[in-house]
Amino acid sequence: MFCYQCQETAGCKGCTQMGVCGKNPEVAAMQDLLVYVTKGLSAVTTRLRAEGKKVSQDVNHMATLNLFITITNANFDEEAIIKRIFATLEKKRELLKEVSDTSSLHEAAFWDSNDRSEFAHKAAVVGVLATENEDVRSLRELVIYGLKGLSAYSKHANALLQDNEDVDAFLQRALAYTLDDSLTVDELVALVLETGKFGVDGMALLDKANTTAYGNPEITKVNIGVGTRPGILISGHDLRDMEMLLKQTEGTGVDVYTHSEMLPANYYPAFKKYSHFVGNYGNAWWKQKEEFESFNGPILMTTNCIVPPKDSYKDRIYTTGSAGFPGCKHIAGDIGQEKDFSEIIEHAKRCAPPTEIETGEIIGGFAHNQVFALADKVVDAVKSGAIKKFIVMGGCDGRAKSRNYYTDFAKALPKDTVILTAGCAKFKYNKLPLGDIGGIPRVLDAGQCNDSYSLAVIALKLKEIFGLDDINDLPIVYNIAWYEQKAVIVLLALLYLGVKNIHLGPTLPAFLSPNVAKVLVENFGIAGIGTVEDDLKLFFGDD
Ligand code: SF4
Ligand code: SF3
């Protein structure tokens, strides 16, 4: 196996024996093959579109879900992935018959097999290392990882019956381009930026889907303690699953708690009305082993990030959507269907209530609409000098000890600064007593990683209010933490919006070759992180 798509990749180079995430070589191989057959499907759909033919929504949804399944920590279930490969080959076979001119289509468009014993052999020659030139490989993978992030966000919007055919057509076109040996390095760099453009569109689509369905997030104090009844813990990013779970648990005597990236569900008006929605339990994804143990009740994983579960609580883990783990029950349900969570609810009734691990409240809900409502206050604080700078510290959290940098950095920030955040990175500092500036909390949490879109919208609004020509003239600096591929699409989206000098940590991606890293440094001022002390000097000078 060879995988280097996430920040925790072995030795900062690549996982070759076993994933640090727990992905084994067999699953890695089937993920590689699923990406490959999705490239083939995309080559076919891209040709069909070029011939003026329509590609159905089902096919779009298939391409996005396939990519989503291969995101870090989403799906460890080899059998489930093999099923997707078969389904994709079947669909590709069907669509290929509709293509009038199949000349010059890549081999991936034609590769087919009914025999799963051939899969491992094929997977071995179509993975990341199939591209020999390290710069071309780096750019292709940068695009693919961006597309994986985009596919996740599209899928969530699709679940709320929102689609954007342009985003889907781009996703498939770009994926097909990663097969094309005739593209120059410059063309691939352009494709990276175009991926960022569609990243913005994809996040905008999801923002519209979420806010249309559930209202605009609003300032909320979220309870982090526990109640006395049994509970279900829901994690991941899928708000439609959250909605179905809340509805189905109503009146059953079972409470609902969020974990990690589901925390922002607490900020939505549509979910607040449920009195059995108690609050958030625990922290970011990587603390699962302790926190799932002490939760005592069943856990529903709607997306990444799954940590391979301990036997002591494995029978309490359920997956749905893109998520999967062998031996854990998967709850099916297509877009537009009501999923049946009754088994999880019955399971919860047999469990003890959660063991309390924390008490108190955290505050969040500062997505664009809420921040705009506070715009006068924020602008006055900036004008009076009460707020000197905003620091965007969104992104992912992870296991690496080096990530304590973000806690230390947040603590050491000057008191006249405000952190803007989104994603599970926030758990490194959202429980610190950082106080407020004239009633504005010093940590403004916009929501999930996809709500980084809100941070961009807020920046663009401030640029307009202050009458600036360049987004980089705002008193905003970017110190972003990444782990998996959704952070890649957020980064590409920010680059597309013209944001410069983003600091990315705790380490730069292993998939950036030295030459590609140089392009990013020279054109966009991308940099890693240093020590807290040095970085504070860099961001704030000596004052
Ligand atoms: Fe390694 Fe990350 Fe790939 Fe898992 S997702 S195999 S940890 S690079
Ligand atoms: Fe976290 Fe996995 Fe990326 Fe959505 S839950 S931010 S790491």
Q: DSSP of 338-381, one letter per residue?
A: PP--HHHHHHHHTSPPPPP---SEEEE---HHHHHHTHHHHHHH
What DSSP line would sit under 104-159, residue for residue? T--HHHH---S-GGGHHHHHHHHSGGGS-SHHHHHHHHHHHHHHHHHHHHHHHHHH
Q: What angle (nearest 5°) sits at the alpha carbon of residue 308, between those of residues 307 and 313? A: 100
Q: Compute the average pLDDT of residues 333-356.
A: 98
Q: Compute the average pLDDT of residues 204-218.
A: 98
Q: Is the pLDDT of residue 543 over 60?
A: no
Ligand 1 probe mutation, 1, 2, 5, 27, most atoms within 8 A of CB: 5
Q: Nearest C-alpha to atom 3 of ligand 1 is from which residue?
A: 3
**pLDDT number for residue 209:** 98
Q: How far apart are CA 30 and CA 285, in angstroms?
A: 24
Q: pLDDT tens, 270-328?
A: 999 999 999 999 999 999 999 999 999 999 999 999 999 999 999 999 999 999 999 99
Q: pLDDT tens, 483-527?
A: 999 999 999 999 999 999 999 999 999 999 999 999 999 999 999
Name the 3-class secondary structure at 519. helix
Query: Are 220-349 and 365-540 the same fold in CATH?
Result: yes
Ligand 1 atom at minimal distance to the Cα of residue 9? 8
CATH topology of domain 365-540: Rossmann fold (3.40.50)
**pLDDT number for residue 541:** 85
**pLDDT number for residue 93:** 98
Q: Nearest C-alpha to atom 3 of ligand 2 is from which residue?
A: 396
Ligand 2 probe mutation, 305, 393, 445, most atoms within 8 A of CB: 305
Q: How far apart are CA 191 and CA 20, in angstroms?
A: 30
CATH 3.30.420.10 fits 220-349, yes or no: no
Q: pLDDT tens, 452-490?
A: 999 999 999 999 999 999 999 999 999 999 999 999 999
Q: How confident is the model at residue 42 (pLDDT cuts 50, 70, 90)?
A: very high
Q: pLDDT tens, 406-461?
A: 999 999 999 999 999 999 999 999 999 999 999 999 999 999 999 999 999 999 99
Q: Is 271:258 a contact under the CB 8 Å cutoff?
A: no
Q: What is the mean pLDDT of the chain?
A: 97
Where do the domains of the chain lie? 10-213, 220-349, 365-540
- Quote the pTM value: 0.98
Q: How far is the CA of 6 from the centre of ligand 1 (A)?
A: 5
**pLDDT number for residue 107:** 98
Q: Is 22:307 a contact under the CB 8 Å cutoff?
A: yes
**pLDDT number for residue 18:** 98
Q: Is the pLDDT of residue 34 over 70?
A: yes
Angle between helices 25-50 and 78-96 (to 10 degrees): 20
**pLDDT number for residue 120:** 97
Candidates 1.10.150.130, 1.10.730.10, 1.20.1270.20, 3.40.50.300; correct CATH number of 10-213?
A: 1.20.1270.20
Nearest bound ligand to the CA of residue 306:
2
**pLDDT number for residue 486:** 98
What are phi and psi for residue 181, nearest 5 degrees? Answer: -75, -10
Contacts of 282 (CB under 8 A, 6+ apart): 233, 259, 260, 291, 295, 357, 358
User: String of b and e for 146-179 (b: at least 16 CB within 10 Å)?
Assistant: bbbbbbbbbbbbbbbebbbeebbbbbbbbbbbbb
Q: How far apart are CA 394 and CA 398, in angstroms?
A: 13
